Amino acid sequence: MARALSRRTLLQAALLATAAPAITYAAGGRAAAATLPVPAAWALRPFELKDVGLGQGVFATKRQLMLDHGRGYDVNRLLQVFRANAGLSTGGAVAPGGWEGLDGEANGNLRGHYTGHFLTMLSQAYASTGDQAYADKIRTMVGALTEVRAALRTDPRMLAVTGKWGGAHENVRGSYQYIDLPAAVLGGAPAITLSVWVKPTHNANWQRIFDFGNNTSRYMYLASRNGSGIPRFAITTGGPGGEQALNGTTALPLNQWSHLAVTISGTTGTLYVNGTAVARNTSMTLNPAALGTLTNNWLGRSNFSDDPVFAGAFDEFNVWSRALTAAEITSLQTSEAKTSSVGLGNLASYYFSTTTGGTWGDASGRGLTATLRRTWGGPSHPGFLAAYPETQFIQLESMTSGDYTKVWAPYYTAHKILKGLLDAYLATDDARALDLASGMCDWMYSRLSRLPDSTLQRMWGIFSSGEFGGIVETIIDLYSITNKAGHLALAKLFDLNKLIDACAANTDTLDGLHANQHIPIMTGYVRLYDATGETRYLTAAKNFWNMVVPNRMYGIGGTSTGEFWRARGAIAGTISDTNAETCCAYNLLKLGRTLFLHDQDPKYMEYYERALYNQILGSKQDKADAEKPLVTYFIGLKPGHVRDYTPKQGTTCCEGTGMESATKYQDSVYFKKTDGSALYVNLYSPTTLTWAEKGVTVTQTTNYPREQGSTLTFSGSSAAFELKLRVPSWATSGFQVTVNGSAVSGTPTAGSYFTVSRTWRGGDTVRVTIPFRLRVEKALDDPSLQTLFYGPVNLVGRNTSTSYLQVGLYANAALTGDLLPSLTPVTGKPLHYTLNGTEFAPFYEGTEDPTHAYVRRSEPRVVFGKTDSGVANPAKSDGTTLLDEIWAGAPFSSKSALVTRVQSTVNSWVSGGRLTQADGQKVLTTAQNATYAT
């Protein structure tokens, strides 16, 4: 086990590493193996996606929908926000919208996250299928992000577009760029004309075409749109309340060139739009001379920091120290100023076609060079890469409470981008992706390592601004490739000590916490244990798991209500339309998988089957769509809930993780012991495993869960190892294993692994029989609220009612305890049944039917084998009924065994005063005379 490293040691090592020459990666080459090194702490080793082929079945069908979506989607739409942030051409691409665009929730403050998810999805798709189309998309995205980082590393440069008179400069929306003019630009002139050609590309109000001022009190501006959407000129020395203004009459057209001019002479100011005077004020007392020398003289930027930067193009900006006549203004409509009778502006004159750099010479002869700048300056480190300015990261460092309209989880977004890049590198060997990922970590370390621990602890505890997702896990994965001490030190800077310490002490403090902010943290801490040997990380993660599963888990495997956790054990009391955020299930699967690699407790794979076969499969709609991945955000468990597969325009965190889930369904079907001595079969799924080290191929043929079992066929070389077959905890009877038709000795135990040891040879066939039975799981805080399971499959009622369905299941229960005989199979529809007129179907079917995941158990009378005893079913104070206590003894080996159980239970209830002697005899007689399903 590795020696535990202190933070001081890690930081010192990181500083030494930072001083060393940077590692470079040649394009197309590799700096490390394509697979991540296996930590010494892992007892098991997962197979790569390329080693496990997915056969036909429910998983393949769902995956194909996502593969088609990923194959056809134009990735330039995702890259739009990155290119805009760097001031690069977006090629006319339109961002997806929702959270992945400037106009989405909180002004798109999470943009860039979805691009990272998409890169991971493409990487998994390529690893699984080998389809070159996915690799081509990955390389396009990595190439573009490389160009983006290079552009961010340098001062902004002119983006040349076709102008009114030739070339022009465009401010791409989202670039945060503006043109800075020298202080002398207005020349203190008492009379003035300002003339400019603009082509607006966005309709946000209060975008400034120009703004000359010192602050928000003394300024002069021309806005392309005021609060009413029309052009406005204003000048003031007393702030907004003292503005002397000129307002236009109609909005400027988008994506068209318009000419605007403002003249001031004496007490008269005039606003012209396309040569026509649209506003005149004859009572003006202010002019540029009254403003004095101004420090902030900008084209495209406002002195009010909350105003948007102008989005659009500039062509020909001129300033004259006199008021042009109406005829002169008109002449500027048909020719450039330099060829018109007016001539160039004598105070300033700029032609934005004259350079491709970041400055423009002044044609007036005054030498007032204009400079293109970013409102936020530039990155603090050359490794910075994001789809928005670094300001979100900077602001977070001083925040004491969350405000996602200003700062929305920047390190969470950084994680998604980082993970996408690392996955892209592992899938395609594109060293540019590794270089980008490594640079991002270098940049994060340069920011965070300067902060005191108290600041870091405060930041990481803020909802949701401080959310950082699974970044620690990804940093550790990257560190295993780069071996840069700074990367390991960076991972430890995300320690949230109050969470780690509480969980390590097994103190449950989760009530009220944001679920998905904390689940992926724990996976990262397990990986930090792998890298440092600090046991508190692993202990905390294991205890955390038990706090969530099953104590805050719904039957489908999901957790959270409205994204947050409630008190331990609160299930029935939290049922709503906003249960089970899909990201939570995704991250619990990842955490359980990681813990199982350390500790082969079957409970982790029990959960994996539950969540994968129910919430994860059910979160993907069974429908093709070119625009959206069609994945749920929340899965409401309220009666009659209809799943929403396109929440918030379809680019949320859950659509992102949903894309990932649908392209890695096979990632945990098989694990191998690190020494190669055993093969774990965790899930029963149609797959083909290629175990290269053994020279063995294992083909699993099954229609599970529509089939109650699976067949594994071996081919290739002979090899000796243990085959460990998971026995689900719900498989309480009838689990059988045969090898080449002969039964294997031993007694399978539900909730464990059944081991078959032999030298495997080509042609060997293993048949696993796993009988299903219908059972219920009760809500921890209300035993009468129950959800139905048939084997691994959650069955949900399809009914428009918005009240809990009243369901009785003992009426025809089998001696085995199987409740299924009380339901009626639907012909031609596997795993579909009816009960009291309601159809029950697998949760995993991605339909838009109103569903009932939970039902209200109602057994008003004692019935055996469809025979009614005529006796009311009594109950104890905790809700346990007579029938509950009788059937708790199942399975029964025979009818007589059941009758014996009825006799003893009836005697106990009679003696306890809960049942009369006469009614007890009726119950016993009915049990003796009934015919039972087997």
CATH number of the domain within which 275 lies? 2.60.120.200
Question: Residue 3 above 60 pLDDT?
Answer: no
Determine the average pLDDT of the residues in 98-108.
90
Q: Is residue 692 in a domain?
A: yes
Report pLDDT for 10: 43
For residue 925, what are the domain limits?
Answer: 869-934
C-alpha to C-alpha distance for 443 and 755, rounded to whole angstroms: 49
SS3 content of the chain, % helix, strand, coil (to 5): 35, 20, 45
Using the structure block, give the residue that is written with the tokens 């407790």.
Answer: 601
Question: Residue 15 above 60 pLDDT?
Answer: no
Segment 518-521 long-range contacts (CB within 8 Å, at least 24 positions apart): 518/544, 519/548, 519/584, 519/587, 519/588, 519/591, 520/469, 520/470, 520/473, 520/587, 520/590, 520/591, 521/468, 521/470, 521/472, 521/494, 521/496
Q: Is residue 744 in a domain?
A: yes
Question: Residue 330 above 80 pLDDT?
Answer: yes
Cβ(448)–Cβ(456) below 8 Å: yes
Question: Residue 11 above 50 pLDDT?
Answer: no
Question: Residue 192 above 90 pLDDT?
Answer: yes
Whether residues 191 and 308 share a domain: the answer is yes
Q: Can you list the positions of beta strands (E) in 292-444?
A: 296-299, 312-320, 348-350, 359-360, 370-374
Whether residues 215 and 363 share a domain: the answer is yes
463 pLDDT band, cuts 50/70/90, is very high
Determine the average pLDDT of the residues in 65-83.
98
- Tokens representing 683 are 């899930």
Determine the average pLDDT of the residues in 847-870.
98
Whether residues 208 and 328 share a domain: the answer is yes
Domain count across the chain: 3
Whether residues 764 and 878 share a domain: the answer is no
Which of 374, 392, 419 is the last residue before a domain boundary? Answer: 374
Report pLDDT for 789: 98
Whether residues 763 and 906 share a domain: the answer is no
Return the higher-pLDDT residue of 762 and 8: 762
Q: Is residue 215 in a domain?
A: yes
Asked if omega into 784 is within 30° of 0 (cis), the reply is no
| Tens-place pLDDT, residues 268-318 | 999 999 999 999 999 999 999 999 999 999 999 999 999 999 999 999 999
25 pLDDT band, cuts 50/70/90, is very low
Q: Is residue 754 in a domain?
A: yes
Determine the average pLDDT of the residues in 520-547.
98
Q: Is residue 859 in a domain?
A: no
Asked if omega into 891 is within 30° of 0 (cis), the reply is yes
Q: Is residue 792 in a domain?
A: no
Whether residues 206 and 329 share a domain: the answer is yes
| Tens-place pLDDT, residues 209-243 | 999 999 999 999 999 999 999 999 999 999 999 99
- Tokens representing 801 are 């009612």
For the chain, give the mean pLDDT: 95
Q: Is residue 415 in a domain?
A: no
Whether residues 323 and 203 share a domain: the answer is yes
| Tens-place pLDDT, residues 119-165 | 999 999 999 999 999 999 999 999 999 999 999 999 999 999 999 99
Name the amino acid, one letter, at 921.
Answer: Q
28 pLDDT band, cuts 50/70/90, is very low
Report pLDDT for 30: 29
Which of 720, 742, 769 is the last residue before a domain boundary? Answer: 769
Question: Residue 345 above 70 pLDDT?
Answer: yes
Name the amino acid, one letter, at 865.
Answer: G
CATH number of the domain within which 696 lies? 2.60.40
Whether residues 893 and 756 share a domain: the answer is no
Which of 340, 374, 408 is the last residue before a domain boundary? Answer: 374
Residue 612 has what DSSP assignment? I
Return the higher-pLDDT residue of 237 and 11: 237
Residue 553 has what DSSP assignment? B
Report pLDDT for 356: 78
Question: Residue 510 above 80 pLDDT?
Answer: yes
Report pLDDT for 421: 98
Q: Is residue 447 in a domain?
A: no
Whether residues 228 and 353 share a domain: the answer is yes
| Tens-place pLDDT, residues 32-47 | 336 899 999 999 999 9
Question: Residue 471 above 80 pLDDT?
Answer: yes
- Whole-angstrom CA distances from 296 to 10, 185, 195, 210, 300 are 44, 11, 19, 10, 12
